[in-house]
Amino acid sequence: MSGTEIKGATSKIENIKSEFPELNRVINGKPVVFLDSAATSQKPQRVIDKLVEYYSNYNANVHRGVYSLSMESTEEYDTARELVREFINARSTNEIIYTKGTTEAINLLARAWGDANIKEGDEIILTELEHHSNLVPWQMLSQRTGCKLRFVPIDDHAVLQLDEYKKLLSDKTRLVAFNGQSNSMGTLNPIKEITELAHDAGALVLVDGAQYVPHNKIDVQALDIDFLAFSGHKMCGPTGIGILYGKENILDEMPPFLGGGDMIDMVHYEYSTYTKLPIKFEAGTPNIAGAIVLGEAIRFLNDLGIENVREHERELTAYTLEKFQQNPKIKIYGTTDLDKRGGAISFEYEGIHPHDLAQILDSESICIRAGHHCTQPLMRKFGIAATSRASFYVYNTKDDVDRLIEVLGKADEMFSF
């Protein structure tokens, strides 16, 4: 099987790299191999074209004008919201809030829901796998309210210890917030099981879906999660746009996060009343272009089939882990169980600092990430300051992995004098 063929997803995903202009670049005489999709994804030409289409043909504000350009812009903007709703199977577009990204979505929730509902003595359960974006906002809420943060521990393979999670749940638990997939260790967490246990304890659930949603089918109704946050730029969409999903009855009860234009009903000098969902949480001129282009990215993923995306990455991950395990100088962090991990692999190469390794790979036009990956507490738990990380998406192939392995060998030779 060639490096561009993926068994089971061949008809939809083979040779797709050509659709991503940046991956056609040659740097230092080498074609680009992009292995940092956990940080941000590349964009297919059709998504880029949609951005140009908006600014070239119907650049106008939404929900305000009665002229044709504004109505066309509004139609595209609202259609994108419906595409998001379908993609995650929400009940209503009222449950889909546009944000700048996952980070803002979680901060919105910590402010609008947290400040209104959390008090001293309440507890919020997180996990030891969390990205700073699903940690710092809750720390700030704790400082404001006096609530306590509890953490589900992980084992030596970065898998959550669910027995310990069950012990943490109590009548003080108000929220369980966790990532669907770890950005640094690749761990896939059991969303449904965690959610059911939280609901049994009377707590709400937030899933940080920044890494999960671009790579896995998610059905918010089937999972019964209360909130979901994710970003457009990790799923072939633009930067600066993201989603907060929330159950409509909960969002209805939450006060607005920001005040300003469009989120109001009636404004007087002394007071204002607020409009209905979802606009209540979207003050000011929104990222219209970002929302519309996110809709096109979702169409692209729908055309591929998100199940095919997952299968593609599963095979690449298996192939990479097999190659890594053949080299005794490579230490893999996280589980090697393919049912419990996604396509982000953190590793250490004996005798080579992650930053040095990243620079050597860059000289051969291979892009990986080196650092703590916005998971400093997790790195400390493993007694390390940083790892190297290779992460995959729809445009990666086995040929990309082979080039990575080849240049890792060159790096080894450089540091073995």
Catalytic residues: 374
Could you give the CA distance from residue 389 to residue 38 in angstroms, rounded to a whole number? 9
Q: Which residue has the tokens 């929330």?
A: 246
Q: Which residue has the tokens 């990215």?
A: 297
Burial 349-371 (b: 16+ CB within 10 A, else e): beebebebbbebbeebbbbbbbb
Could you give the CA distance from residue 258 to residue 247 in angstroms, rounded to a whole number? 20
Beta carbons of 391 and 313 less than 8 angstroms apart? no
Beta carbons of 282 and 256 less than 8 angstroms apart? no
Q: Using CA atoms in the order 46, 47, 50, 52, what is the torsion angle rounded to 10 degrees?
A: -100
Contacts of 169 (CB under 8 A, 6+ apart): 125, 176, 197, 198, 200, 201, 203
Could you give the CA distance from residue 6 to residue 351 in angstroms, rounded to a whole number? 34
Could you give the CA distance from residue 84 to residue 395 in angstroms, rounded to a whole number? 22
Beta carbons of 357 and 388 less than 8 angstroms apart? yes
Q: Among candidates 369, 365, 400, which has minimal Cα distance to 185? A: 369
Radius of gyration of the chain (CA): 22
